Structure 1
């Protein structure tokens, strides 16, 4: 209890500040936008790699999204896929061929032109060079990739050996952003050193792994997304990202005017931010909720009854009310409620500790002398691997630990630094792993739970689920695909592959001098329209 109280003290009990809305850019009335100036941004964690294709964490994507353009964009308000580097496209009825007509006149920051060959080299590099853990998301988007044909200098035809209906939305992500030949020719590790060359509105001026990144405005940029609020070059001259892990230090720097924007503003920071004229901007993340993913090959979690009992044993409302605050939501399915294809399964996720106890009783797990259940001499105990990519992870899991103990389950917390966390994930060296995954498309379920995805469950085939995950790739009909995504969420819970806890929200502290800071469709920041009035 002492450790939990310490964590809650760091996060405070309940957020009393009213949220600024669901991602709508909010600012004081400062007149028309003015170009110029340097925006100073405080990251809560260090970027893991400067290459957009290898970006995974939100803090990394806040940086890498700015230097790379994508073939398409996704409207955050409607979810519609809109033109960007591709001015038009055609998708074959069987979703195996995608033909993109590129915008003429686009150049990378080294002066070379965007061509269909650029698209070919980018996708080839992801599949053939950035293998394994280097670009997990990008590779999953290119599942079944058979090659890219250059039909003419500005027409690229991307082929798959099986249907891949999610690919069009995937082309809007930074992971499939288009980089110059000089970058795609580099090995994976060298693409993480800040030398990446994109066609985006900003370029790398300086990059210091684990410490800072500085971006400079790209002069002559005229090919922005149709979703952007203006055309032409970005307003900001520079963006300086500094890594400041301590929330209190970030907030103090924002309030004193040393920083203009900070990541992961916490509840106790709200009053200080408001007192200095600042505000919070909040948006919920689409994708897979935060949850516990059990390794089906280790310990008590091999027992389906144990996994089933964990669902009603967790009081999700208490997690939000006690640890996070009203800008967060309880998980009501495997997918977050903002995700296309989400279905409300909240009736299956209600808090019912007596039900959890009954399930464990029937499965032969009986309380031991210390209250922890035992079966055949084995304690009902398992570890959960997690990182501090989200500031609330420790406190959430400590409260879950207490909740599970009341039904006779011993949850051991295994926090890990990013490098260790990634390495253990890759080796499948854990009883369970805790994380979330952001994407504005229901295909994120295939990435997280498919046999051809991350498969952190280390599971064998489950025919019903595998058929549904395969099926959603085979139809471009929105309603049919949503129905399959909905069925997948039910089957994932049926098989105990995910124990949902909460939905993630991005909470950004913004000073009064910043206008038009926006979230894109996947809840990552887009600085193209941002401007300063100091």
Structure 2
């Protein structure tokens, strides 16, 4: 038995200013994207979760060093390889003043894990994040038990992704109401959602205080939090420099020095958890040949792009895992060698090179253009095509259905830093994130076995073996894991970025 205790503008003028409350301490975040929804169980986007998690808490959370610690749970115990028990804090209130109970925890987890539990036959898109959960039961007023179909050692690592909702509130407003209304247990409560413009929150004075392992415990420091939606990078930077916002996410590397040199702002960085890569369509007539995929890998000077385009703020990878992820290890390097790339193309039957199109979302167009230039110089003449994210996902992440296209510059997040969260969806045959159309039954079996292996050393070795497989097969050109870069006002204190990209504002103050 293992027990874990809680000791553990295109310019600034483009920014619409929000009327402040007299005497109120407001903290404004210039944020890249609006929330897709305010329902914690009905999305799969990190930006949406970042906003939601300032209004909702979960059973467990992560401290700034990414260690899993209890939050709404007081402690948790692994009773057996397939059973976990959670002791629930008393006195935790929802924003409407009602007390949270073990029944709310069960209702929340059932709503995520049970087929059709969202209502109208809809299943939560977050179901896959809960792995082999078989059932959730209320043992007594302060104890909830999660039963697994098979051992799954990363359950605690995945629970910070799930936030607790009020059973009574959801039954009253339904899933449609929960998309725009909030009744959470988090440090801030919703005031107004101006879709496409801003989400405004105010401090919840009856907040239970948050995780004991993340001091200070208590109510939030600021009176209000405003997530101001500013998609354009130049406008976010301008708003920060003008003093209109206190934090901006996704600070472009080329703006780092400008923000650092401004007397009223600074730059904060943290190792990211999002791996960038280029999917090569293995169902097509070009990249079904491993020689062509090898040529692409040798055509890209990753170090040059990290230095010149990303400002040195990234770590190169030769497999899917971040250097900080569990099970990561050193892998054979595909060195930049355009002459070797051309020779591999000739060996594959393309002595005059090939013509391809590389799809990319608009936010990464400049980086993709730099990659395309290097590919072209090596004989893979590449045209960049910019598309909208949802359409590209539909085109490339076909889960076994036929796919079109040549190459796709994309990424996958791994907030848990556990391989299950990134390796399986991107590489297992026909899985939801397998944009290359890669199929390797030996790898599938290894990933399935690693997911339930309880011996940590053995499990790490299994992922090492899996990384060696994909490093050899090259369904993707594995590129880099960027640092997350934030611009902050010097008025801000008590906040630092987290590797899971969460902007947790409970402890943040504005001076």
TM-score greater than 0.5 by the shorter chain? yes
Query: Is 2:420 the partner of 1:443?
Result: yes
Contact 1:333 1:344 in 2 (8 A): no
Q: Give 1:315 deviation, angstroms.
A: 0.8
- 3-state secondary structure, aligned to 1:348: coil
Q: For 1:34-433, list aligned pairs within 5 A.
A: 37-77=25-65, 79-94=66-81, 96-127=82-113, 128-129=115-116, 136=125, 138-173=126-161, 176-182=162-168, 184-185=170-171, 190-193=177-180, 195-273=181-259, 274-287=261-274, 289-345=275-331, 347-367=332-352, 372-373=353-354, 380-381=355-356, 383-388=357-362, 391=363, 393-425=364-396, 427=398, 429-431=403-405, 432-433=407-408
Under a length normalisation based on structure 1, what TM-score does the superposition of the two structures give? 0.82
Q: Give 1:88 deviation, angstroms.
A: 1.7
Contact 2:397 2:435 in 1 (8 A): no
Contact 1:141 1:167 in 2 (8 A): no
**2:3: which partner in 1?**
none
More RCO (CA 8 Å, sep 6+)? 1
1:273-319 Cα shifts (integer Å, max 9, x gaps): 332421011112125x1111234323422223322332222110111
**1:502: which partner in 2?**
480
Q: Give 1:403 deviation, angstroms.
A: 1.1
Q: Which runs of 5+ in 2 are unaligned?
A: 1-9, 11-22
Q: Give 1:215 deviation, angstroms.
A: 1.4
Under a length normalisation based on structure 2, what TM-score does the superposition of the two structures give? 0.85
Query: Is 2:468 the partner of 1:490?
Result: yes
Distance 2:396 2:37 in 1: 18
Cα gap change, 1:93 to 1:113, in 2 (>3 Å): same
1:400-454 Cα shifts (integer Å, max 9, x gaps): 1111112222333232224434443555654343123132222221233234742
Contact 2:268 2:497 in 1 (8 A): no
Distance 2:479 2:508 in 1: 34
Q: For 1:452-463, list aligned pairs within 5 A.
A: 453-457=431-435, 459=437, 461-463=439-441
Distance 1:384 1:108 in 2: 47
Distance 2:380 2:124 in 1: 36
Contact 1:212 1:241 in 2 (8 A): yes
Runs of 4+ aligned structure 1 residues displaced above 6 Å come to: 131-134
Cα gap change, 1:330 to 1:360, in 2 (>3 Å): same
Contact 1:93 1:476 in 2 (8 A): no
Cα gap change, 1:452 to 1:203, in 2 (>3 Å): farther
Cα gap change, 1:386 to 1:92, in 2 (>3 Å): farther
